[in-house]
C-alpha cells in the first residue's frame, strides 16, 4: 500500500496539470490574423462598387444615407 500512494499522488498531479493547461487553452494553436492592407475611416468612403463578371453594383452615400446607383437608380416599391 505504501508503494501505491506516491503513484496515486503523481497521477492526481498530472491530471490536475492537464486540466489546468486545457482550461487556459495551452494546447490550442492561436489562429493567425492577416495583416491589415488598408486602413480607411468611415467618413472617407463616399461610394463603392462590386463587380462580378458583367454585373456591377454601385452604392453611393448622400446625406449620410446609402443608395444603390447601379444597376438601377430608381426606387422600387412593394406591390400589394
pTM: 0.41
The listed range with the strongest mean pLDDT (7-16, 31-40, 66-75) is: 7-16
Report how far residue 43's alpha carbon sits from residue 38's, in angstroms, rounded to the nearest whole number: 15
Q: How many CA atoms lie within 13 A of 39 on its CB side?
A: 2
Amino acid 80: pLDDT: 58
- The mean pLDDT value of the chain amounts to 83
Burial per residue of 8-45, b for 16 or more beta-carbon CB atoms within 10 angstroms, e otherwise:
eeeeeeeeeeeeeeeeeeeeeeeeeeeeeeeeeeeeee
For residue range 3-15, what is the model confidence (pLDDT) as tens digits?
889 999 999 999 9
For residue range 48-62, what is the model confidence (pLDDT) as tens digits?
888 888 888 898 888
Amino acid at each position: 500500500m505504501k508503494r501505491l500512494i506516491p503513484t496515486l499522488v503523481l497521477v492526481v498531479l498530472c491530471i490536475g496539470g492537464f486540466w489546468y493547461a486545457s482550461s487556459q487553452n495551452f494546447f490550442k494553436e492561436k489562429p493567425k490574423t492577416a495583416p491589415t492592407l488598408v486602413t480607411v475611416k468611415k467618413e472617407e468612403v463616399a461610394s463603392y462598387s462590386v463587380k462580378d463578371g458583367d454585373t456591377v453594383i454601385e452604392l453611393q452615400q448622400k446625406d449620410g444615407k446609402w443608395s444603390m446607383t447601379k444597376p438601377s437608380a430608381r426606387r422600387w416599391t412593394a406591390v400589394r
